[in-house]
Each structure stands twice: as C-alpha cells, then as structure tokens.
Structure 1
C-alpha cells in the first residue's frame, strides 16, 4: 500500500485522493483548535509560506480525541484556523487518529514510522505523559498518536520519513524539510 492509495474528505464533503499531492513533500498533522499546542498553526503556516513554492504542502486534519479540544466540525475548524492564524494550507474534515474509527490514512502513517518515547528530561513531555497516563493510557501503547499536533513528514516519492511528537521543535522539522527539498532538486 502507498500513501497515494488513500482518500481524504474535505470539510465541504468533497473526497480527495492523496494522489493530488504526488511529487510534493507533505507534512501531515492532526490538529485541534483548543489545544495548548494550537499556537503551532502559526508555525505551520510560516513553513507553508516559506516552502510551498519549492514543493511542500502542509495538510491539517482536525481531531477531537484528546480532551475534547476540537469539538467543531471540519468546516468550522478551517474557518477558525483562517480567522485566527491566517491558515491557507489545506484543512480536512474532522477525523479520529486512534481506535476503531481511525482514519485509514492515519492508520497507515502511524504504522510506517515508529513513535519517539517521551523525554523524561523535558518538563513539557513529562506533563503530557502524566496526562496521558491518567486520561488516555491506551494512547501510550504501540504506535498510537499521543496527542494533537503529531506530524508526519512524507517525501516527494510518498515515503513516510519521520514522525514528530507535538513537543518537537519546528526548527528540527524545518531542517528535515530543507534536507528533503535538497534531495528533490
């Protein structure tokens, strides 16, 4: 199976093939409008602005599985992102990233690259891990998505390269994007 075999749903109900993004470097993110990481929309938009003309596309998928942080539907989420963070990258319909109703694309992504264990030296990751242990211990098992704003970097040939946990630096992600763009030339 390839990433290009998946279909995704836009907020207006239109079904879109991932083939649409063939030859693009993709940064695929599960998002939320009321999360402590919501500020990352601004960082993601800056990446998109900087690298879109070079072949990067950021794809946002709202998710409400973590502490009810995205109760609105995909259309309202998209409007929120545009209004508050100037988001112009593609946003999709709200999905689930774990459990029986996992969006097939995310099921594929999370099994293509392993998660990174939380760093016990990072206060932010320690706090997130404690919250997960208390409220969502099942998300700490296997390759489950741990929280909103988990990001997957996909090469221009469709290979899933890396998974970035929500606490990882946008600078590190940008370095990998730069590297992929250099390869793509």
Structure 2
C-alpha cells in the first residue's frame, strides 16, 4: 500500500513539473514561492546581472512593457545570476535596491541562481529543455529571455541581444491566447 502511495506521489509530482507552474523557487527575501501563483499569466523569465552591458536597456524596456501589459496579465520574473563575467556580485537586497532606485522598477525578483552546469536551478533546466538554444541549449549570457504562456509552457526563447521591446508581437499574441 505504501508503494502505491509513493507511486501516486511520483506521478503527481511529475505532472506538476510539466510546466513552470509546478516549480517552487526562493524569492529575493529567501521565501519559498510556488510558481503556480502565476497560472493564467504570461511570463518573461530572465537571468539578470546588474553590471552587464545589457542591464540598462533591458530593465528600462521591461518596465515599459509592464506599464502597458501588466493589466492584461504580463509578469517579469528576474533571476540574478553571476555565471557570466562575474557581473552580478551583489546580494539580492542590493540588487532589488539598485533596480528600484535606478529604474523605478520592481520585477518579481528571486534568489541568485546558476543557470548552467551541474548546479543549474531545476527551473532553468526545464526552460532549456522546453526551448533549446542555437547550437547548444546552455544559456549563453545575461538577459536570455523565455516567454512563457498562460499554460506555463515556453513559447519562445530570446537571445541576450534581443531587446524586450522587440518581443512585443510575441507578448501580445501570448496575452490574447486562451489557456
């Protein structure tokens, strides 16, 4: 009987992990956050770094996108990462203050994670599995963006050089789609 219960748990867990909504991550304050709370929302999940050359344009444009589309269900989930050139050495509190002070913007900020390698966060393993990259699936630099539909599945992956404003058509299409 116990093995049946374990089997049920494993199947239930596997089904829950079939979308981003099945993952639990830690927010910038260290609190567990179940991404199921974003069910029905369109998400931009992005690895960020405060000292990257893409920082100013990305944060400015993410704020502009949220100013227009948040009411329709768009959210930006920012995951600091220090794997690329050591460009995110700060702690989460400093990162949050930097983004708020400089850009007047408060994305949903999470704890610093690895996006590649053996210690890659399970969420990022899932994202890369859903939409691999050009030539390799690894995240190549800061500000790689994943557009996730209301159903929790990756619609499209955008390179670090793609500016958020250039995602508008895809965002609008995702916001119009039904679950």
Q: CA deviation at 1:2?
A: 2.1
Q: Tell me, which stretches of 5 or more residues in structure 2 are unaligned?
A: 1-17
Q: Does 1:33 align with 2:27?
A: no
2:61 counterpart SS class: helix
Question: Which structure has the larger Rg over C-alpha atoms?
Answer: 2
Task: Name the CA distance, whole Å, in 2 between partners of 1:90 and 1:20.
Answer: 12
Q: Does 1:47 align with 2:65?
A: yes
Task: Name the CA distance, whole Å, in 2 between partners of 1:75 and 1:19.
Answer: 24
1:16 counterpart SS class: strand
Q: Partner of 1:114 in structure 2? A: 132
Task: Name the CA distance, whole Å, in 2 between partners of 1:170 and 1:145.
Answer: 17
TM-score, scaled relative to structure 2? 0.86
Task: Name the CA distance, whole Å, in 2 between partners of 1:75 and 1:174.
Answer: 30
Moved over 3 A (4+): none
Q: CA deviation at 1:86?
A: 1.3
Instruction: Give the root-mean-square deviation of aligned CA atoms.
Output: 1.4
TM-score, scaled relative to structure 1? 0.83
Q: Does 1:98 align with 2:128?
A: no
Q: Tell me, which stretches of 5 or more residues in structure 1 are unaligned?
A: 118-141
Q: Partner of 2:137 in structure 1? A: 143
